[in-house]
A and B are shown apart, each in its own frame.
Chain A
Amino acid sequence: MTPVIRPPAVLVFSWLAALVLLSITVIAAYLPLGAGNTIVALLIAFTKAAIVAAVFMELRRQNGFIITFATAGFFWLAILFWLAFTDYSTRANFPPTINWGL
């Protein structure tokens, strides 16, 4: 088999797209969008991560079994964030009511 050394077009395109997104996110960080700055930064970060995962990590070509393994960590992480923020966002509303005799 003759080796093909030219990079596949989809890789080149994804690489350039990630670099363009990087430029956009840096420019957007300097625009006065208020709370929108964080949302834009995170949306672009997720988009770049999705490009790396789908194209560079070839997840778009994998079967459900591998995808399940790949997303398992994020599933548990979502539970961690959910429970932690349930605690921190409501802690002030539920002050401790039990006096431990101290």
Chain B
Amino acid sequence: MPEPQPAAQFAHLPQQHEVAQLGIWTFLATEVLFFGALLLSYAVYRSADPAAFAEAARHTKIAIGTINTAILLTSSFLVAWAVAVVKTGGSRFAAFLLWSAAALGLSFIGLKGVEYAMEYGEHLLPGFGFRYDGPASQSVALFFSFYIVATVIHAIHVAVGIAVFAVIGRRAYQHAYSGSYHSPVIVFGLYWHFVDIVWIFLFALIYLPGRSG
């Protein structure tokens, strides 16, 4: 297998790697603001009517949410492991780890689908036959509007990650990465970990409020 060469605009591979790293971190900074604006709107509406948001959050499926959090944390661990392995030249084993992470991502989306179906059946999804009796109905609709927008956008990010890991896993399986060249695994790993972090906060804001009341 020939030694990988840097792209024409780079002097050497480490320089190319640093540019790729800065690129993904810049992208992630825009993602922080993208999801951050959503969280801001949540914070404003929740502070306006905390009791109603607690009441709404009690209707979310905490068992599925907790399992999904464990799934994403585990997939992040597998990706971090894949990065550690690929650095020592274990490209083929890293492929299995990346595919396993993608499979966990698929099960995350599958469980999310089950959750949406249950909420649809309970008339909790605004825009899809929302119906809620009681004085808090408007705030509950706001909560579930945030819920559906935030989790669908997050699920799209998970789906993109699954597709990318399927491709990168295949490249890894073909020994495309080595101890000296493995930037794509690191860069898309960073993306995946970020999507995990977004979920950690969504979990705390969507599933946990109102449980003790």
Contacts and interface: CB of A to CB of B under 8 A. Distances in A.
Interface of A: 1-5, 7-8, 11-12, 14-15, 18-19, 22, 25-26, 29-33, 37-38, 41-42, 44-45, 48-49, 52-53, 55-58, 65-66, 69-70, 72-74, 76-77, 80-81, 84-85, 88
Given A42-B204, A49-B201, A73-B28, A2 B209 contact: no
A5 B76 contact: no
Nearest to B44: A88
Interface residues of B, number: 54
B53 to A, nearest CB: 10
Contact of B69 (A22, A31, A33, A73): A22
Given A18-B73, A52-B200, A66-B22, A73 B81 contact: no
Interface stretch (B85-93, B141-149, B158-166): B85-93
Main secondary structure of the interface of B (DSSP, over half): helix
Contact of B93 (A3, A12, A55, A70): A3
Main secondary structure of the interface of A (DSSP, over half): helix
A2 B201 contact: no
Contacts of A80: 33, 36-37, 40
